[in-house]
Amino acid sequence: MISKKVILTGSFGVGKTSLFEQFLYSKFSQKYLTTIGVKVDKKVLNINGKELSMIIWDIAGEVKQDKVPNSYFLGTSAIIYVFDVTRKSTYEELEEDIAHIKKMLPNGITAIVGNKIDLVDDGFIEELKQNIPLPWDLLTSAKTGDNVEQLFHDIGIKLLAQNS
């Protein structure tokens, strides 16, 4: 079995913990509890007949060096950068944050994910495309579960391809 570390990062309140909980435990809570430090858990995925143990780190807060210890990134194979589609402030520094991530993890997989799509309509998504400086990989809803499995499955495929 192949084991890979995946980090969820992004601004406060974008739904990183909710994505973590939805993927690992199929649950969602309306309560907002700030993550302190890091939560770690794992899930074994079967992708095209291969088993992948995905060790998922839900880290508190921001991407910035002064907010997240660089040691959290050691041994990481993929990073999921989450922004909140309803809060512009969570994607205003997207380019800078992704540049920092790529510097920290030059050979790692990076996925940019807009969360909370259950709160907007299709017209808003079209408008969002004009305002986001980088293309996103997927839009999700941790609340409804939309595209959450797909997100981690897609990362898993990339991780296994990287390992071949």
* pLDDT tens-digit readout, 98-148: 998 998 899 999 999 999 999 999 899 988 888 887 889 999 999 999 999
Report the pLDDT value the prediction gives residue 4, as an integer from 0 to 100.
Answer: 97
Q: Which two tokens stand for residue 112?
A: 């940019």
Domains of the chain in start order, with CATH, are 2-163 (3.40.50.300)
* pLDDT tens-digit readout, 24-82: 999 987 776 666 668 899 999 999 999 999 999 998 766 655 556 677 888 999 999 99
- What is this structure's pTM? 0.91
Q: What does the longest C-alpha to C-alpha distance in the chain come to?
A: 43
* pLDDT tens-digit readout, 142-161: 999 999 999 999 999 999 99
Count other C-beta atoms under 10 Å from residue 106's C-beta: 7
Q: Is 57 helix (H, G, I), strand (E, B) or coil?
A: strand
Count other C-beta atoms under 10 Å from residue 51's C-beta: 12
Which pairing describes strands 38-47 and 109-115: parallel, antiparallel, or unpaired? unpaired
Q: Which two tokens stand for residue 153?
A: 């499955």
